[in-house]
Amino acid sequence: MQAKPTGDTTLIQGEHTYQSLADKLVGVVEKPPPRIWWPLVLLGGLGTAFLLYAILVTFLQGLGTWGINIPVAWGFDIVHFVWWIGIGHAGTLISAILVLMRQDWRDSLNRLTEVMTLFAVLCAAIFPLIHMGRPQYFYWLLPYPNSLAMWPQFKSPLAWDVLAIMTYLTISTLFLYLGLIPDLALLRERAKSRLARAFYGALSLGWTGSATHWHRYRAAYVLLAGLATPVVISVHSVVSLDFAYGLVPGWHITVFPPFFAAGAIYSGFAMALTLIIPLRKWYRLEEVITLRHLDWMAKVMLASGLGVAYIYLLELFVAWYSAEPYELRQQAWRFNGPYAPYFWAMMLINVGILQLLWFPRFRHSLPWLFLISVLANVGMWLERYVIVIISLSRDFLPSSAKLFHPTWVDWGLFIGTFGFFVLGIALFIRIFPPIAVAEMLHLLHKLRFHKEESHAARSDGLLQNPRGASGGDSSG
């Protein structure tokens, strides 16, 4: 079989030197922002203000301002917590797992998705704090020696959530910062004003780019990637245990941890596409975030989406196979209950529309890809709605069945976290380069100077799986 072109040559398009590539990537920070930036910051700021107002109302008047009631005591707060946490996961996946797999195509995506992770996790972390009736005592969830001689209950997945989210926030921030250090040094060297030089200089921690620096940097980066990978998988698994630990029909399913992790990767890549498609246009980054990058992201999204779709069907099968009446009734409640439109919309998007990604036509068309990614975000929101709210709205006792009706505070918190997310990302890419410059220069170096070598190796047959190596166990 003739080896196809690996496509690596298309990861950076255009004729670039190190200087021109660095100019282009750092230009995002050095040049004035595109015109759309100001309205985005304004919208984000308004959203953030709305978020703060909704939080203030919640704190002053209590959780009764939300739509939650007694069977459905977890409403939009937990839906959005899980949704935002899920979105964060693509960032760490691209940063950590793809590093371990030595995927070069992550190099132009990782910074943006790490920023996305940081702000998505911050948005998510708001919800566990404010959905407490007495948020001023949140620190009782931390294990510290105190005058009460009391400790958190470590059997509760909600106590694990605290540890999981704090670890996740720490490790994703560290990852983001570690990746930024060489770029900060570059910005320091290029800075025109004293103030910028001092700012980037302090943040770059005296990075000089010496061989020792790079050697340790690489080792630390790969180590951190190795540590972050189990964190990514386990954080959303821990989040899933909030439900799977419960006895509620529709929650108590052992497949939840991988299900949630797959859903997190799916929704994370969807959100990454939703962000990256407009950003690459506004900032003219088509040369470094090529259609091939988007194609790969769409493929990962398809793969994880199929995992999600599989488990939807598995859930149905298991409900039938268990012959457990409450489980069956729960599924019937999803099919025909008052929330059926949510369920069917979720199935339509996450099982139906997802299949469009099999076709290169949809993966290579920006409008389609954007539309599908936005829909996938909606679909994953619906999935959390189905799991959290529909399951709670009717369980064992008919006398404790009640519907959930969100109030304006519920919506305000959601829209507000969106505003905060947009504001955070907009400000971040104004101050820090949205594409890892050092990684990209390294990639350019690899593409230009190692192309011949790998090409030569391939024509020698070294990369073509020599028959002798695998011939021993092939029986036919």
Partner 1 sequence: MRRLRSRNFRLKALFYGALLGLGVLLVVVFSGVAVGGFDPRVGVTIEQPVPFSHALHVGQLGMDCRYCHSAVERASYAGLPPTETCMTCHSQIKAQSPLLAPVRESWQSGQPLRWNRVAWVPDFVYFNHAIHVAKGVGCATCHGPVHQMQVLVLHQAFEMRFCLECHRNPAAFLRPKEEVFNMNYQPPAELLALGQRLLEAHKVQTANLDDCSVCHR
Using CB under 8 A, list all residues that contact partner 1: 144-150, 201-202, 205-206, 208
Cβ-based nearer residue to partner 1, 19 or 153: 153
Closest approach of partner 1 to the CB of residue 144, in Å: 6
Minimal distance in Å, beta carbon 150 to partner 1? Answer: 7
Which residue's CB is nearer to partner 1, number 154 or number 449?
154
Residue 142: CB minimum distance to partner 1, A: 10
Q: Write down the H helix ranges in 191-283.
A: 194-203, 211-244, 256-282
Q: Which two tokens stand for residue 329?
A: 């009734």
Q: Which residues contact 223 (CB under 8 A, 6 or more apart)?
A: none
Which residues lie closer than 8 Å to 200 by C-beta, 6 or more apart?
Answer: 184, 185, 187, 188, 191
Q: Ramachandran region of residue 195, left (φ > 0), alpha (ψ -120 to 50) or beta?
A: alpha
**C-beta closer to partner 1: residue 2 or 212:** 212
Least Å from the CB of residue 52 to partner 1: 27
Nearest-approach distance from CB 148 to partner 1, in angstroms:
4
Q: Which of 436, 417, 446, 458 is nearest to 55 (CA)?
A: 417
Q: Any idea which residue has 């496509």 for tokens?
A: 7
208 or 399: whose CB is closer to partner 1? 208
Residue with Cβ nearer partner 1 (2 or 147): 147
Nearest to 158 by CA among 90, 93, 245, 95: 245
How buried is 295 (Cβ within 10 angstroms: 0-12 exposed, 13-18 middle, 19+ buried)? middle
Closest distance between partner 1 and the C-beta of residue 204, in Å? 9
Query: Residue 62 CB, nearest distance to partner 1 (Å)?
Result: 19
CA–CA separation, 234 and 222 (whole Å): 19
If the CB atoms of residues 145 and 325 are measured against partner 1, the closer one turns out to be: 145
How many CB atoms are closer than 10 A to CB 179?
20
- What's the closest the beta carbon of residue 215 comes to partner 1, in angstroms? 16
Question: Smallest distance, Å, CB 181 to partner 1?
Answer: 12
Nearest to partner 1 of 169, 301 (CB atom): 169
- Please state, in angstroms and rounded to a whole number, the distance separating the CA atoms of residues 168 and 78: 18
Closest to partner 1 by CB, 118 vs 203, is 203
Helices (H), 245-339: 256-282, 291-322, 325-336
The dihedral of CA 216, 219, 225, 228: what is its sign?
Answer: negative
Rounded to a whole number of angstroms, the minimum distance from the CB of residue 430 to partner 1 is: 25
Neighbours of 190 (CB within 10 A): 15
- Residue 386 has phi, psi (to 5 degrees) of -60, -45
Q: Shortest distance, CB of residue 74 to partner 1, whole angstroms?
A: 24
* Contacts for 392 with CB less than 8 Å, ≥ 6 apart: 71, 72, 73, 74, 248, 404
Closer CB to partner 1, 60 or 148, in the complex: 148
Which helix (H) or strand (E) is 418 found in, with range?
Answer: helix 408-431
Q: Which residue's CB is nearer to partner 1, number 144 or number 154?
A: 144
CB of 179 or CB of 201, closer to partner 1 = 201
CA–CA separation, 467 and 476 (whole Å): 13
